[in-house]
Amino acid sequence: MLELGGNITLVGFKELEKAELVVVKKIVGRYARKMSDTLLGFKSLRVSLKPVHKTEAGEKYEIHAKAMVEGRPVNADTTERNLFVGLDSVLKNILQIVGK
């Protein structure tokens, strides 16, 4: 488990290469900043990664995100071959759910 700042937690990301982890931190950090700027009551963001379906051609990533907003959890998840696309998708979903 990695903690970024006081309100961001990454789970299951230690297996990534260093360069991939840098990009992950930037994507998650950008979305966490956007959430804290636009959502009243934003408390924390937790993103979990689980590699699934490993093959020679690549693997799929199962990504779960949970934001605590005004004391209630907001969850989103996805399964994607491209880690960065999946991360962007799941965090965008959190913003859309809370924005309704």
Query: Domain map of the chain by residue range?
Result: 2-99
Task: State pTM to two decimals.
Answer: 0.89
Asked if 25 contacts 13 with a C-beta cutoff of 8 angstroms, the reply is no
Look at the domain 2-99 and name its fold: Double Stranded RNA Binding Domain (3.30.160)
Note the pLDDT of residue 20. Answer: 93
Residue 23 DSSP class: H
User: Which of helix, strand or coil describes residue 12?
Assistant: coil
Phi (first) and psi of residue 60, to 5 degrees:
-105, 150
Task: Return left, alpha or beta for 25; rule: phi > 0 is left, psi -120 to 50 is alpha, else beta.
Answer: alpha
Q: Summarize pLDDT for 4-13 with one digit per residue, the tens.
A: 878 999 999 9
Range list of β-strands (E), 25-92: 42-55, 58-69, 72-80
